[in-house]
Amino acid sequence: MKNNKNILDERQEQILLRIEHNGCWLAFWGLLAAIIVQLILDFDFRNLAGEWIVFMLLSLYLSVGSTRQGIWDRRLKPDVSSIVVNSLISALALGILGFVLTVRRFPDKILGSMAAGIVYAVMAFVVCFVVMQLFACEFKRKQSKLEEEPESNENPE
């Protein structure tokens, strides 16, 4: 018995979309937290492959899907200042994680672990900045294309 008819009214549809939205972000941040905790607890990266693949696929889907629809963010604009701030936050987080992982592996090499953390942070900043700039350029291109298209739903009177 196949029933493809939507039986929800508009209010229920909006509530369901909000639930799905929250579930998606719960999965995203939960996967990231699980990966970080397992890395800190000295799990082998091969044991994290499943979580890492799902996390990367979810990240890619959200990024590409939003950009293709001409959506950047609810609160942030795709300008250089917000990209720099987000890249710095990512760099700081990855730098700290790199430092912690290196200290766990080589507890007597604090100075080397700090250097490793700095290298992680610099690389993360550069990669995040470049990728977000590319997405911002694509977003702006898509926005201008969407603004140029005439409304096909308009009724001529």
Q: Which two tokens stand for residue 132?
A: 């977000």
Whether 50 and 81 share a structural domain? no
Whether 63 and 102 share a structural domain? no
As a whole number, mean pLDDT of residues 108-130 equals 96
In angstroms, the CA 122 to CA 26 distance is: 28
Angle separating helix axes 49-68 and 110-148, nearest 10 degrees: 30
Question: Nearest CA to 113 among 94, 51, 105, 21?
Answer: 105
Whether 32 and 50 share a structural domain? yes
Q: Which amino acid is at 51?
A: E
As a whole number, mean pLDDT of residues 2-17 equals 83
Whether 98 and 142 share a structural domain? yes
CA dihedral 44, 115, 97, 53 (to 10 degrees): -50
In a domain, residue 5? The reply is no
Whether 34 and 96 share a structural domain? no
- Choosing from 68, 92, 109, the residue where a domain stops is 68
Q: Lowest-pLDDT range, 4-8, 113-117, 136-140?
A: 4-8
- Classified as helix, coil or strand, 157 is coil
In the chain, the number of structural domains is 2
Question: In terms of pLDDT, which residue wins out, 43 or 53?
Answer: 53
In angstroms, the CA 38 to CA 45 distance is: 9
- Note down the domain range covering 31: 14-68
CB 25 within 8 A of CB 33: no
As a whole number, mean pLDDT of residues 139-147 equals 86
Could you tell me which residues come within 8 angstroms of residue 101 by beta carbon, excluding any fewer than 6 positions away? Answer: 39, 40
Q: What is the pLDDT of residues 68-84, one digit of tens each?
A: 888 888 888 899 999 99
- Choosing from 36, 53, 68, the residue where a domain stops is 68
In a domain, residue 90? The reply is yes
Whether 22 and 62 share a structural domain? yes
